[in-house]
Each structure stands twice: as structure tokens, then as C-alpha cells.
Amino acid sequence: MKKNKKYFFIGVGIFVLILIALAIKKKNDRDYIKVATETVQVRDIVETISATGKIQPVKDIKITPYISGEVIEIFVKEGDKVKAGDLLVRIDPEIYKSAYEQAEAQLNSQKANLANAQAQLAQVEARFKNAETIFNRNKTLWEKKVISDAEFETAKTNYEVAKADLEAIKQSIKASQFAVNSAEAALRKSREDLNKTAVYAPAEGRVSKLSVERGERVMGASQFSAGTELMRIANLDNMQAVVDVNENDIVKVKIGDTSLIEVDAYLNRKFKGIVTEIATSASTSGVSIDQVTNFQVKIQMLRQSYEDLIPSDQPDYIPFRPGMSATVDIQTRRSNKVLSIPIQAVTTRQDSTGKVKKVNASQGNEEEAQTTKTSEVFKEYVFIYDNGYARMREVKSGIQDNNFIEIISGLKEGEEVIVAPYSAISRQLKNGDRVEKVPKDKLYEVK
């Protein structure tokens, strides 16, 4: 009986030890954080800024008429190639023909008036010379007391009237000349208006957009209006991406930066481009306090990056159309062969040690002292995997691309850093925590 009790207590003891061991193991399992790691490697890092926009021609001319009227003929259609001087549109010229004929008649009338005044001038000059001769002769006779005062006054009056008539006819001729000049100017304007009923291409290109149809009335350009847009002529051989870049990123963009352009119409394909223009004034979008400030950037597409899309038997084929959606990665900085790790491996933590260096004046040596004020400084850290433990280490980072970040100091090539899960890296992990290294696809498996 005693022997049985002895075995019973031994069995119970063993069972309790097993339970304690399992409990400890379970607790230890809970203390482990599953992590994935990668080694520090040398890579080329290219910092990019992403922006979206539209594909547009580098040269895009809006054609508007100088005069108003009804479109009676259109000589091109969308997609046609035109040369400088080609006739594009004709506007009804009848009203301008009438105005021209009226201006021409008015000019002829003014010329006739001028000729009549010039003919009168000869007569008036003759009368003036005769009156002047009589006045001078009578003046001599009057001074010799040969003629009476009345006769002299008559001669003098006739002379002054003839002189005034001469001056009047000269002024009349000047006025007629001014009238002729004005009529000539009106005729020139009428002739120009008549000529402008025909609209010609100002440059070579393609009709990228036709905005009117035959029979429509259009408004001419004026001081207060740009006029009705008839069409657009664009050089589709040179295309560009026009994108909006956020104000926080625009300071990094420079003229000449290389860019990679993705066009929605060509999936899994990137085209090359060069930044050619950066707006100096901002454009805003949004409402009230939610307004977003952007700057327009133009990136010319390099033809050699899409030449394979142009069939050899169709050299005029244009693979892009104005208005196509595009996403652009502008390469602002580049570092070659630098130490790098995945971006998610770097976290920022607040440095609140509050430790500073202070000099003891009495002894003349430096001693480390704890300040009463906590320092609000954020630093960059990574976690090194060290045989089942996470070791926190401060690093200094450089530029980054979409996947990797340059490490300037704090790491060596080949060291193993924790890269996942990000929630653990950013919040949970602390220096010295126990971790379990697993493949990335096993991170979230539950036993």
C-alpha cells in the first residue's frame, strides 16, 4: 500500500513538472516575435518623384479667325497633315466684299474732291496775284495823292479777300488729302478683312482637333475675346507629358532630369523623357483649406524610346494621341553602388535620453549628467538579427527609391536586418527582444 502511494506521488510530481514545462514553453513561444530578415547589400539607388498628367504635343497651335461670319467651306479634316500656307477654312465673304466696294467708292469720292480743290487752287491763285498787283499799284498812287481813299480801301479789301480765299483753298486741299488718306486706310482694312475670310495654316503639322462644322457662325478675335477656336494644328512628331508636381517635391526637380513615362494605352511599357520646362507659378486644385498646390512640369518624350511602335511601312504613324493619361517618375538623384536595405526596415524612434556633456568647473573634467528636460529628437533605427535577438542600432539614411533606402552609416555589408512585419519594426520591437526568424510567407501562419 505504501509502495503504491509512493508511485502515485512520483507520477503526480512528474505530471506537474510536465505541465510546468509546457507552460514555460508556451510562455516562451508567446514571447517570441516572428520576423523576416534580409542582408545589407550594395545597390544603385535612384530617387524618383511620381506625378500624373496628360500627353500633349510640344507645339500645339489654336487656330481662330480674325473676322466673324459663317463658315462656308472646310478644306481639312481631323488627322490631315498640312503645310504652312495651306487653305484651311473659308468664311462667307459677301458682307466684306460690300464693305470693300463701299470703301473703294469712298476713296474715289475723296480723290475727286481733292482734284477739284487742286483745280480751284489755280483759279484762286490767279485772282490773288491780280488783286495783289492792283493793291500795290493803288497803294503807290494813293501815297502820291493821285487816287482817293475810297479807291485805295476798295483795292485793299479785294486784296485781303483774295488772300483769305487762297489760304482757305489751301486748307481745303489739306483736308481733302487727309480724307483721301483716311479712305485709303479704310480700303486697306476692308481688303484685309476680305482676305481674312480665308484662313491659312500658320505652320506645318497635323489637324489634331477640328472644332467647327460648315454652316456654323464664328466670332473673330478682338481686344476682349480670343475668338472661336476653329481647330488645332499640332506637331505630333514631338510629344510631351504635362504633369502636376506637388509643392513639396518641386524643389527637387531640375531642367534636364531623366524621366520614365508610363502611358495607360501601353501597359507594361516605359518611355524615356527629359524635363524641359518647370512652371514658376503654382496652380491650385481643391476647395478652400483642402486646396493642393502643384506646379506644372513638361517632359519631352524621346523618340528613340518608342520608335519600335512606328511601322516601317507607315513612317507618319503617330503612336500617341493628345490627351492620353500618363504617369511619370522623374529621377531627381542617383547614388551608385551604395549600401542599402528595404525601406520598411528603417523606423524612427524618439530619442529621450536627455544626456548631455557638461564641464565641472572645479575639477576641469567632463562628466556625463542627466538633464531635467527631455530632448525631443527623432532618430532612425534598424533592428539587427542576432541569434534569436533583435538588436536596435542607429543609422543614417540617404536617398531612396520605391523599394530600397541608402544607408550612409550604421551598417556593414552582409549584416542581417529585420525587414518584416512593419508593425513590429515601427512599434513593438525593443532592443534585446527575442525573435524567431521565418520566411516572409510564414510570418502570419498560426500553429
Q: Say what the alpha-carbon torsion angle 428, 432, 434, 435 is, to the nearest 10 degrees.
A: 60
Q: pLDDT confidence of 372, banded at 50, 70, 90?
A: very low
Task: Measure Cα distances from 131 to 59, 147, 262 in Å.
Answer: 74, 17, 95
Q: What are phi and psi of 372, to 5 degrees?
A: -85, -20
Mean predicted confidence (pLDDT) in 348-360:
54
Domain ranges of the chain: 33-45+341-442, 49-55+235-334, 61-92+197-233, 95-195
Q: pLDDT confidence of 7, banded at 50, 70, 90?
A: low
Statement: residue 119 has pLDDT above 90: no
Lowest mean pLDDT among 64-73, 289-298, 353-362: 353-362
Statement: residue 243 has pLDDT above 50: yes
Q: What pLDDT is recorded for position 355?
A: 46
Fold of 95-195: Helix Hairpins (1.10.287)
Q: 372 with 362: CB under 8 angstroms?
A: no
The CATH number corresponding to 61-92+197-233 among 2.40.50.100, 3.30.499.10, 1.10.1510.10, 3.40.50.2300 equals 2.40.50.100
Q: What is the pLDDT of residues 164-195, one digit of tens each?
A: 888 888 888 888 889 889 999 999 999 999 99
Closest CA to 205 of 56, 57, 321, 54: 57
Q: What is the pLDDT of residues 413-422, one digit of tens each?
A: 999 999 988 8
Question: Whole-model pTM?
Answer: 0.64
Sheet holding 69-74, edge to edge: 198-200, 87-91, 69-74, 217-218
Closest CA to 245 of 228, 231, 257: 257
Q: What pLDDT is recorded for position 136?
A: 85
Q: What pLDDT is recorded for position 149?
A: 80
Q: What pLDDT is recorded for position 365?
A: 44
Statement: residue 282 has pLDDT above 50: yes
Q: What pLDDT is recorded for position 94?
A: 92
Query: How many beta carbons lie within 10 A of that of residue 382, not counting itself?
Result: 25
The CATH number corresponding to 33-45+341-442 among 2.60.40.420, 2.40.420.20, 3.40.1440.10, 3.40.640.10 equals 2.40.420.20
Lowest mean pLDDT among 62-71, 92-101, 314-323, 327-336: 314-323
Mean pLDDT of the chain: 84
Q: What pLDDT is recorded for position 358?
A: 39
Q: What pLDDT is recorded for position 369?
A: 41
Residue 57 to residue 59: CA distance in whole angstroms: 5
Query: How many beta carbons lie within 10 A of that of residue 178, not counting itself?
Result: 12
Statement: residue 10 has pLDDT above 70: no
The CATH number corresponding to 49-55+235-334 among 3.40.50.410, 3.30.530.20, 2.30.180.10, 2.40.30.170 equals 2.40.30.170
Residue 93 to residue 91: CA distance in whole angstroms: 6
